[in-house]
Amino acid sequence: MTSTARPPHPQRSRLGRLSRELWFQVIVGAVLGIAVGLFFPEVGTTFAPLNNWFIGLVEMIVVPVVFCVVVTGIASMDNLRGVPLPPLCRWADTGCSLEVSLHGCAAERRGSGPAGGLML
């Protein structure tokens, strides 16, 4: 008769288990980035185009993600009679105004004038 029991997996070390967690990898990456920026600042200036490209990608993806989250949240509501319309409109108006003003500030940082650095 053959045994179907598998041998137990070897226990991983605590650091081995921790290194597979995303939050730990993010913290290690942030600490390494700060250390490289402090001790080797020329590396940061070398990678400046890559940094600007990444920030542009993040700014570009935030608006569609927020829009999809809001639309999905509203679409998944079963009963819209419980939602008071004026506060909802005020909330949406405030959110849109804040988003437009933040993008205007970001464009002014990048380019010359209020819309000089917008990439369409």
Distance from C-alpha of 80 to C-alpha of 74, rounded to nearest angstrom: 9
Q: Residue type at 90? A: R
**How do residues 19-61 score in pLDDT, each as one tens digit?**
899 999 999 999 998 999 899 999 888 988 998 998 999 889 9
How high is the pLDDT of residue 28? 96
**Domain locations in the chain as residue ranges:** 50-120
pTM of the model: 0.44
Residue 63 has pLDDT above 50, yes or no: yes
How high is the pLDDT of residue 120? 44
How high is the pLDDT of residue 112? 53
How high is the pLDDT of residue 24? 95
Pick 74 or 68 by higher pLDDT. Answer: 68
Distance from C-alpha of 25 to C-alpha of 32, rounded to nearest angstrom: 10
**How do residues 102-116 score in pLDDT, each as one tens digit?**
666 555 555 555 555
Long-range contacts of 47-50 (CB under 8 A, 24+ apart): none
Q: What three-state secondary structure class fits 106? A: helix
